[in-house]
A and B are shown apart, each in its own frame.
Chain A
């Protein structure tokens, strides 16, 4: 069974640019959650999508947005990048039924210069 696939693995962007990250969940999983991980703040919740609808949202500015497609694949977008957006962005997949934990992908490491 294939795991959670995140692309790209690494990205370098310039301040002010925008970026789109992609996540393909485990087949059959309908929930995708996104987290930002930094050394200082740890894992911070961005948002969760379930069956193409945003079910939960964390305390991040509106520059951070996401969406989920009918095949459960998800994308997150960050506009007007800031230096502080440099982080590991992790996608987590689950059935969404609450009976099991999340399966994480390997993440996309974003560096903003």
Chain B
């Protein structure tokens, strides 16, 4: 079992839909969480950075962390064709340690 799992996708949604992207993990010591978006042939772009449990909102994006269930989510409201990309979650235990990445979920937001 991998340390961080994601739904592999691809996930296809119509424009304007609400998208839910999810990660589960096995290491209960993880407390720093990130979400990245990666377009084809580009480096990952940081969307959200959160610490511990709770919600964080930034524009159309909401990150949710449930440490008791070892589960994090990224919600995208009013999805646009430009949201079509691979979404990666990443997490680490403490400052000074490396982030562990999930395998990514490919999203297609269709016009």
Q: How large is the interface on B (under 10, 10 to 19, 20 to 34, 35 or more residues)?
A: 20 to 34
- Nearest CB on A from B11, distance (A): 17
B32 adjacent to A102 (CB under 8 Å): no
Tell me the smallest distance from the CB of A80 to a CB of chain B, in Å.
25
Pairwise interchain contact B43-A90, C-beta atoms closer than 8 A? yes
Residue B101, interface by CB 8 Å: yes
The dominant DSSP class at the A interface is strand
User: Would you list which residues of chain B between 42 and 62 have a CB under 8 Å from chain A?
Assistant: 42-46, 49
Residue B99, interface by CB 8 Å: yes
Stretch of A11-19, A40-48, A60-68, A71-79 on the interface side? A40-48
**Cβ-defined contact, A56 with B46, below 8 A:** no
Q: Is the CB of A104 within 8 A of B43?
A: yes
Q: 9 extra interchain contacts, Cβ-Cβ under 8 A, other than A45-B100, A105-B43?
A: A4-B43, A42-B101, A42-B103, A43-B101, A56-B96, A90-B43, A90-B44, A97-B95, A101-B46
18 A-B pairs with CB atoms under 8 Å apart are A6-B43, A33-B98, A35-B101, A42-B101, A42-B104, A43-B88, A43-B90, A45-B99, A55-B96, A56-B98, A90-B43, A90-B44, A98-B94, A100-B49, A102-B34, A104-B36, A104-B44, A106-B42
